[in-house]
Amino acid sequence: MAYEFADEVTDEVAARLREAGLRATRPRLAVTWALRAMAGHHTADEVHAYLVKHDVTPSRMSVYNSLVALADVGLVRRADVGRGATVYERADTWHHHFVCGRCGQVSDVSCVVGDKPCLTPLEDVGLIDEAQVLFRGTCRRCLDADATSGDPR
C-alpha cells in the first residue's frame, strides 16, 4: 500500500485492536482511515473504491473482512438501514438513523438517551447489547425540493 497510516487516531485504533486480541493489519488501519476521511455511511465496496482511488490497494475481501473485524470490536458500526448492502460508519457516538424513502440518503439521528441500549423491551428476552432505531420517511432536502417545484407530495 502506498499510504502510510501514522497518526494519533491510527495509534489508538492499533491499541484497541491489540486489546481485543487482533493484529493491527494495514487493511484494518486503511479501512478506519478511509471511514474517517469519507465520513457518513458507506458500503464495503465504496470503502474499497475510496482506498483504490487513494493508491491504497487491499483486496476487496480484505476490506470486507476488516469491516467485520472492526465492527466486532466496536471500532466501526454496522448501520442497520434496512434493505440493500450493509453500510458502515465510524463508531464515535451512539445514534440512530433516518433513511429517506425517495433519495435513499441515510442521516444520523441523535439518541435521546445517548448510550446503548437506549430502549428495553417489555419482555425479559435476555441481556441486550444495543437497540437500533430506524426512522423512515422523506428527508428535508426532498421536502424542500418539493416546496420549490410546487410538488404537493
Q: What is the residue extent of each domain of the chain?
A: 1-90, 93-153
* CA of residue 83 relative to chain centroid, distance: 15
Q: Is domain 93-153 given the CATH code 3.30.1490.190 in the classification?
A: yes
**11-78-72-44 Cα dihedral, nearest 10 degrees:** -70
* Cβ contacts of 139 within 8 Å, gap of 6 or more: 98, 100, 102, 103, 105, 107
Neighbouring C-alpha atoms within 13 Å toward the C-beta of 53: 9
Q: What percent of the chain has pLDDT over 90?
A: 36
* Residue-level pLDDT at 82: 75
Q: Say which residue, 150 or 61, is predicted with more confidence.
A: 61
What is the reported pLDDT for 106? 87
CATH architecture, domain 1-90: Orthogonal Bundle (1.10)
**82 φψ region: left (φ > 0), alpha (ψ -120 to 50), beta (else):** left
What band does 120 get if pLDDT is binned at 50, 70 and 90? confident
pLDDT of 151: 64
If we measure between CA atoms, which residue out of 134, 136, 91, 89 comes closest to residue 115? 91
